[in-house]
Structure 1
Amino acid sequence: MTIQVGISACVFGERVRFDGGHKQNRFVVDELSKHFTFKPVCPEVGIGMTVPRPVIRLLQLAEGDERLVESKNQSIDYTDKMKAFADKQIRQSDNMCGYIVCAKSPTCGMERVKLHIPNNNTVPGGTTGIYTRELMEKMPWLPIEEDGRLCDPVLRENFVFRVFALHDFYQSVRNNLSVNAFVKFHSRYKLILMAHSPAAYKTLGQMVANIKEWDIDDFWFEYRQQFMDALKERASRKNKTNVLMHLQGYFKRSLTKDQKHELATLIHSYREGNQPLLAPLALIKHYLREYPDPYLQIQMFIDPYPEELKLRYGL
């Protein structure tokens, strides 16, 4: 299984920054590299800039246009070259399932990148790096995350999960574009959608129910976008509790009174914030092994990615 993920080369550990340094992320190198095949890209090097090189910045002109220029000589403009490079990379990224970018970079930053104006002041709130902006505009379904934000356990889990989900979508549906493939895929992610976005759970369910009214290619593009948008929403504790209670309902005829009480207590404790999600899930998995259910056994909510990544420990 090869899951292709783009990454800013400096975050992968390559010494390509303006000062010849790097910003290697240990979680990426030590953990994610076991599961993802990374494609390191340095946009600055990609357009022919040297290492080391002059510092560059984003400059907002009077008419609102943003340009990528050298800090000490703003007449040297790299904007068009950078956009052309981004377009070339995007055309070669059909199988890409995610992208990790370098925070604060004028090319790769995802948010709050410094945006200067001609008098050297900055615009409040900043902007997005020019390379990453092209990725986000032309591949809006693609999971993109900054290296620094991967330190947040919730953002880390959500990003990695979305990468695995998009890869699963490509493997399950793209190579077998059919009504049956969509129905099977959607069935496996019903509880995931219920946890992330109850509204999308209903909308996508209706789409799949009416899939025969669609052109299959149009359905592919629309479903992919709405599915990935839904997964980007944070799965709240309330929604995950509802899913756990939904799972609990499948065992009502199998468990003893004491077992039901034990599971209900764990779910309640999770809802109150006293237990991690793994606590009730571990018991549900135990009961699922003892009392197999074909529908629950295919649900991605139970095992959405390799356990060794330990992503649910802090949830």
Structure 2
Amino acid sequence: MGDTERPRIAISSCLLGVPVRYNGGHSRDRFLDDTLSQHVDWIPICPEMEIGLGAPRDALRLEDSEGGPHLVTRRTGQDHTEPMNALATSRIPRLDADGYVFKAKSPSCGVRGVTLHRGGTVVDHKHRGLFAAAVMDAHPLLPVEDEGRLHDPVLREAFVERVFAHARLRALLEGDWLPRDLMAFQARHKMQIMSHASYQETGRLAAASGTRPREPLATEYAEAFKSALTHRTSVGRHVNALQHCLGMLDLDHVLRDDLLDVIESYRARRVALSVPMALLRHHARRAEAAYLAEQTYFRPYPDELALRNHVTP
């Protein structure tokens, strides 16, 4: 992976161990700060500090109002909604990121499950933090998660896969690409897209790259590619993609039957996805099947992250 393909991920600063929490502490996450940091470039953001609040500070909460949730201090009720909205207006258009990891349950940064108050009463626990909501509304296809959900191996793998795919797309489109480059990008990602959704729309747009104006096409392709990856993958979709990969290999019946057995073991949730993946990748290299060996489906992110080693429940 080249430097231009290295993901740039915005993150709540406290998750990297920066002492910006309301109590003067942090919420350092070991996976993010120790493991993922070796493969991505972080863009640390603490919106509460950026609007001038110090650390430590009075804790904030979301307060219900006719105009929508307001961000107020718990103890004094001071309203910080306007400066937070102003920060979002100025900061979000400059957010050049392939993904975002927010602090869970934060009234500024929570992506779900944030408590809404009305006076001294809790109204519900279904809201988003004020700044996070603005980011997600402005960038609906941006991979977004909070550190709590990233403890789930399935959600973690899905998020990391998407941010690396976004980074590869950004690296392509920021360069002086030619129609053949977009076609090659689509070809490399065909099986990965298939594991999420149909690749027909991205394929159609890539095929038109030699006949359509460059910039409108790039925008359309980027939206179609990112949209395809928003679809949750599943065991069934993976089995379909694995069988397509197997069909590209010229193997004797013994090796083919062995691989089919392993794919069926994955379908039955007896082995992790990494097992049929490793075997197909091995045979693609041995057979010098370059088209298959170069599929991003086999290596959507660095192998060191080992995110496909769990057995799907």
Task: Report the Cα distance in structure 2 between the residues aligned to 1:64 and 1:211, rounded to whole angstroms.
Answer: 45
Task: Report the Cα distance in structure 1 between the residues aligned to 2:225 and 2:81, rounded to whole angstroms.
Answer: 33
Task: Report the Cα distance in structure 2 between the residues aligned to 1:117 and 1:126, rounded to whole angstroms.
Answer: 14
Aligned to 2:69: 66
After TM superposition, give the deviation of residue 64 of structure 1 in Å.
4.7
User: Which amino acid letter does the alignment assign opposite residue 196 of structure 1?
Assistant: H
User: Which amino acid letter does the alignment assign opposite residue 188 of structure 2?
Assistant: R
Aligned to 1:117: 118
After TM superposition, give the deviation of residue 177 of structure 1 in Å.
4.3
Task: Report the Cα distance in structure 1 between the residues aligned to 2:305 and 2:299, rounded to whole angstroms.
Answer: 12
Aligned to 1:309: 305
Aligned to 1:208: 206
CA contact (8 A) 2:236 2:267 kept: yes
Aligned to 2:136: 136
Deviations 1:159-192 (A, max 9, x none): 1111111110111222124433322211111111
After TM superposition, give the deviation of residue 213 of structure 1 in Å.
6.1
2:39 pairs with one of 18, 35, 39: 35
Aligned to 1:219: 217
1:158 and 2:158 aligned: yes
Aligned to 1:13: 17
The structure-2 alpha-carbon separation of the partners of 1:214 and 1:131, relative to structure 1 and needing over 3 Å to count, comes to farther
- For 1:115, what is the secondary structure of its paired residue? strand
CA contact (8 A) 1:116 1:122 kept: yes
- For 1:301, what is the secondary structure of its paired residue? helix
User: Which amino acid letter does the alignment assign opposite residue 259 of structure 1?
Assistant: L
Query: Structure 2: where are the runs of 5+ without partners?
Result: none
* Stretches (4+) displaced over 4 A: 211-214
Identity %: 36
After TM superposition, give the deviation of residue 250 of structure 1 in Å.
1.3
After TM superposition, give the deviation of residue 223 of structure 1 in Å.
2.2
User: Which amino acid letter does the alignment assign opposite residue 38 of structure 2?
Assistant: K
Task: Report the Cα distance in structure 1 between the residues aligned to 2:132 and 2:85, rounded to whole angstroms.
Answer: 10
1:4 and 2:8 aligned: yes
Aligned to 1:235: 233
CA contact (8 A) 1:158 1:232 kept: no
After TM superposition, give the deviation of residue 205 of structure 1 in Å.
2.2
Task: Report the Cα distance in structure 2 between the residues aligned to 1:301 and 1:239, rounded to whole angstroms.
Answer: 12
Report the more deviating stretch, 147-156 or 204-213. 204-213
- For 1:7, what is the secondary structure of its paired residue? strand
Aligned to 2:61: 57
User: Which amino acid letter does the alignment assign opposite residue 93 of structure 2?
Assistant: R
Aligned to 1:101: 102
TM-score, normalised relative to structure 2:
0.93
CA contact (8 A) 1:13 1:25 kept: yes
User: Which amino acid letter does the alignment assign opposite residue 118 of structure 1?
Assistant: G
User: Which amino acid letter does the alignment assign opposite residue 276 of structure 2?
Assistant: P
1:84 and 2:86 aligned: yes
TM-score, normalised relative to structure 1:
0.92
1:197 and 2:201 aligned: no
Query: Structure 1: where are the runs of 5+ without partners?
Result: none
Task: Report the Cα distance in structure 2 between the residues aligned to 1:44 and 1:187, rounded to whole angstroms.
Answer: 43
1:280 pairs with one of 276, 283, 288: 276
After TM superposition, give the deviation of residue 58 of structure 1 in Å.
1.0
Deviations 1:132-151 (A, max 9, x none): 11111122232111011110
- For 1:11, what is the secondary structure of its paired residue? helix
1:23 and 2:2 aligned: no
Task: Report the Cα distance in structure 1 between the residues aligned to 2:183 and 2:195, rounded to whole angstroms.
Answer: 19
Deviations 1:260-283 (A, max 9, x none): 111111111111111111111111
Task: Report the Cα distance in structure 2 between the residues aligned to 1:4 and 1:193, rounded to whole angstroms.
Answer: 21
CA contact (8 A) 2:141 2:226 kept: yes
Report the more deviating stretch, 11-20 or 219-228. 219-228
- For 1:114, what is the secondary structure of its paired residue? strand
Task: Report the Cα distance in structure 1 between the residues aligned to 2:179 and 2:118, rounded to whole angstroms.
Answer: 52
CA contact (8 A) 1:68 1:106 kept: yes
- For 1:83, what is the secondary structure of its paired residue? helix
Paired residues, number:
307
Q: Please give the root-mean-square deviation of Cα atoms over the aligned residues, in Å.
A: 1.7
Report the more deviating stretch, 23-32 or 78-87. 78-87
Task: Report the Cα distance in structure 2 between the residues aligned to 1:294 and 1:28, rounded to whole angstroms.
Answer: 33
- For 1:193, what is the secondary structure of its paired residue? helix
